[in-house]
């Protein structure tokens, strides 16, 4: 885990994130040992311990939220028979260009049927749901799995943000009525805000996507977008009202209370933890490196002993006692006993984003005190040792609240009204989101959306459902009376 080296460049990180975000991102991923792009297969990236530990904590928070809402875990195979994948026509049309296929085994032995590495799992899970769902008493059925999915991303890949394998949770739910399914979609969005905003510190806007940008096979798609440092938005979790489309394709029926056999109603929800992690480090990081939220930092506290000569043993024992006390209080703690200088260690752990650093030397030992350093504000304070547990708890909450507040401040003044294509382009060039009157997010509005993308390189993110938005005026493209207010941004 601790792969420190006697290399000043490894310990000190100083890149202007606001003015050169691509370089900042590429370098922090490498220097903080979050991913290693040298694996040799485009879009497939090993994740070393520091990012894996943090993502595991993020998974735990999300799984806890799902289980509190009565979702149960399951695990399905990675491969999907081609016949299954092709049962739902809209779905397969949407995903076929991105599918990785397995067609042979061993020394060229052809499979009787090609197998797909799952791009998502509807066509793997729903044939089994047709066996598991028999009666209204089996419903609602709320299940999820924590897996990798595989998509042959055609755009340029970037660790965490856009890859060909990404880590996520997907929930797949079955209901007796469409009203229950639509309520589940709203619950998914509540979970999104609880997890992404309250725990990871990421402010989001909630959209209903357009009909040309929905999940293949769904009736409607809803998604949370957040703003990246380069002025582009990135999609975090999305949730989908599948209606009874997949139930009809995969014969998911049940006997209702009236003793009638009817098709079920379904939803699915897909938070990609690896992508959310990429957004989180991007939004919270600064010119010195990472700033991780206290809740998801692999080490919440790092202890740096300051000693030399005759004081070394006593100071080290003092720090070991501090570590034990904090561990007994369930904090994630690391004691840096390496031979590097204290200054080198300070820079290293600041770059790694550890929320709290404890410094202790001979003077602190004699006075029964410690120095606390908080990574978000780069401020120090000296406290009595007996106050340590209480202060670390309070400081962790303060850090998470402060990181969220600073991220939310980026949203202030972000949205600008635009009534002409030139105004949209001007807004996007400045890293803003354009709020625009628009004819329709049904398919008849697609030609206008194409015109907007051609002239501004912006994408319609959808209509916001987290605020009350009333259309006024005329569509910015075709001049028809506006039926919607849409938001346009450049995106990942």
Rounded Cα gap, residues 359 and 351, in angstroms: 17
Q: How many angstroms separate the CA atoms of 129 and 195, rounded?
A: 28
Tokens matching residue 148: 């990798």
Domain-terminating residue out of 398, 424, 446: 398
Looking at residue 8, its pLDDT comes to: 40
φ, ψ of residue 267 in degrees (nearest 5): -140, 160
Same domain, 149 and 45: yes
What are the Cα distances from residue 13, in Å, to 34, 182, 413? 14, 47, 30
Phi (first) and psi of residue 290, to 5 degrees: -80, 155
Query: Which residue blocks in 353-419 are alpha helix, DSSP H?
Result: 362-367, 388-409
Determine, yes or no, domain membership for 4: no
What is the model's pLDDT at position 4? 44
pLDDT at residue 90 in the model: 75
Q: Domain check: are 280 and 375 in the same one?
A: no
Cα 123 to Cα 121: distance, rounded to the nearest angstrom: 5
| CATH number of domain containing 455 | 3.30.110.30
Render each residue's pLDDT in the chain as its tens digit; 492 residues: 444 444 444 556 889 998 999 999 999 999 999 999 999 898 899 999 999 999 999 999 999 999 999 999 999 999 999 999 888 777 777 777 889 999 999 988 999 999 999 999 999 999 999 999 999 999 999 999 999 999 987 766 789 998 899 999 999 999 999 999 999 999 999 999 999 999 999 999 999 999 999 999 999 999 999 999 999 999 999 999 999 999 999 999 999 999 999 999 999 999 999 999 999 999 999 999 999 999 999 999 999 999 877 889 999 999 999 999 999 999 999 999 999 999 999 999 999 999 999 999 999 999 999 999 999 999 999 999 999 999 999 999 999 999 999 999 988 889 999 999 999 999 999 999 999 999 999 999 999 999 999 999 999 999 999 999 999 999 999 999 999 999 999 998
**Do 165 and 307 belong together in one domain?**
no
CB 307 within 8 A of CB 338: no
**Overall domain count for the chain:** 3
Give the largest Cα separation in the chain, rounded.
Answer: 84
Range of the domain at 424: 415-489
244 and 312 both lie in a single domain: no
d(CA 341, CA 347) in angstroms, rounded, equals: 10
Domain membership of residue 10 (yes or no) is: no
Here the CATH number for the domain that contains residue 343 is 3.40.50.800
First to last CA, the chain: 31
- pLDDT for position 487: 97
Domain assignment present for residue 13? The answer is no
- Kindly list the distances between the CA atom of residue 484 and the CA atoms of 32, 210, 451, in Å, as whole numbers in the listed order: 44, 11, 17
Please indicate, yes or no, if residue 12 is contained in any of the structural domains: no
Q: Is residue 289 part of a domain?
A: no
Tokens of residue 118, six digits: 């799952």
CB 160 within 8 A of CB 278: yes
- Specify whether 23 is located in the same domain as 156: yes
Tell me, yes or no, whether 233 lies in a domain: yes
Q: Structure tokens of 209?
A: 């996507």
Contact present, 274 and 55 (Cβ < 8 Å): yes
Examine the domain organization and report whether 68 and 114 are in the same domain: yes
Q: Which residue among 226, 251, 284 closes a domain?
A: 284
Residue that is written with structure tokens 């350093």 in the block: 373
260 and 343 fall within a common domain: no
For residues 56 and 198, membership in a common domain is answered with yes
Do 161 and 143 fall into the same domain? yes
Looking at the structure, tell me whether residues 239 and 265 fall in a common domain. Answer: yes
**In the listed set 364, 398, 432, which residue is the last one of a domain according to the structure?**
398
Domain-located, residue 246: yes
Indicate whether 407 belongs to any domain: no
Same domain, residue pair 219 and 308: no
pTM of the model: 0.94
- Do 241 and 299 share a domain, yes or no? no
Nearest residue to 486 via CA among 412, 417, 410: 417
Report the chain's C-alpha Rg in angstroms: 25
DSSP class of residue 158 equals B
């Amino acid at each position: 885990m601790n792969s420190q080296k006697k290399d000043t460049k490894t310990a000190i990180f100083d890149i202007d994130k606001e003015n050169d975000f691509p370089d900042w991102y590429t370098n922090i991923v490498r220097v903080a040992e979050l991913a290693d792009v040298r694996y040799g297969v485009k879009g497939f990236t090993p994740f070393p311990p520091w990012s894996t530990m943090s993502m595991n904590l993020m998974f735990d928070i999300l799984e806890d939220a799902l289980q509190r809402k009565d979702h149960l875990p399951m695990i399905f195979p990675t491969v999907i028979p081609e016949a299954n994948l092709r049962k739902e026509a809209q779905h397969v049309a949407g995903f076929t260009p991105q599918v990785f296929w397995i067609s042979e085994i061993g020394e060229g032995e052809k499979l009787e049927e090609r197998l797909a590495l799952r791009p998502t799992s509807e066509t793997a899970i729903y044939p089994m749901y047709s066996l598991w769902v028999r009666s209204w008493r089996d419903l609602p059925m709320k299940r999820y799995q924590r897996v990798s999915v595989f998509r042959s991303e055609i755009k340029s890949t970037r660790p965490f943000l856009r890859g060909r394998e990404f880590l996520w949770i997907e929930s797949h739910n079955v209901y007796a009525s469409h009203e229950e399914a639509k309520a589940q979609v709203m619950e998914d969005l509540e979970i999104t805000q609880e997890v992404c905003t309250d725990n990871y510190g990421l402010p989001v806007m909630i959209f209903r996507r357009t009909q040309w940008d929905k999940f293949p096979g769904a009736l409607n798609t809803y998604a949370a977008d957040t703003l990246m440092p380069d002025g582009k938005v990135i999609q975090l979790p999305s949730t989908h009202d599948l209606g009874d489309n997949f139930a009809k394709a995969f014969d998911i029926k049940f006997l209702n209370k009236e003793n009638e056999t009817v098709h079920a109603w379904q939803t699915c929800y897909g938070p990609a933890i690896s992508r959310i992690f990429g957004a989180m480090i991007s939004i919270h990081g600064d010119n010195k490196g990472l700033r991780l939220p206290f809740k998801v930092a692999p080490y919440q506290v790092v202890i740096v002993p300051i000693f030399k000569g005759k004081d070394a043993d006593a100071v080290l024992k003092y720090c070991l006692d501090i570590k034990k006390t904090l561990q007994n209080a369930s904090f994630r703690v690391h004691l840096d006993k390496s031979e590097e200088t204290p200054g080198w260690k300070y820079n290293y752990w600041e770059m790694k984003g550890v929320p709290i650093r404890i410094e202790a030397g001979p003077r602190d030992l004699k006075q029964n005190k410690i120095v606390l350093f908080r990574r978000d504000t780069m401020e120090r304070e000296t406290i009595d040792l007996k106050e340590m547990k209480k202060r670390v708890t309070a400081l962790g909450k303060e850090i998470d609240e402060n990181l969220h507040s600073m991220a939310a401040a980026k949203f202030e003044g972000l949205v600008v009204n635009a009534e002409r294509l030139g105004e949209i382009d001007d807004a996007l060039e400045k890293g803003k989101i354009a709020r625009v009157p628009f004819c329709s997010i049904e398919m008849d509005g697609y030609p206008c959306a194409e015109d907007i993308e051609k002239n501004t390189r912006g994408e319609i993110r959808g209509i916001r459902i987290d605020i009350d938005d009333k259309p006024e005026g005329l569509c910015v493209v075709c001049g028809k009376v506006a039926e919607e207010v849409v938001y346009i941004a450049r995106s990942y």
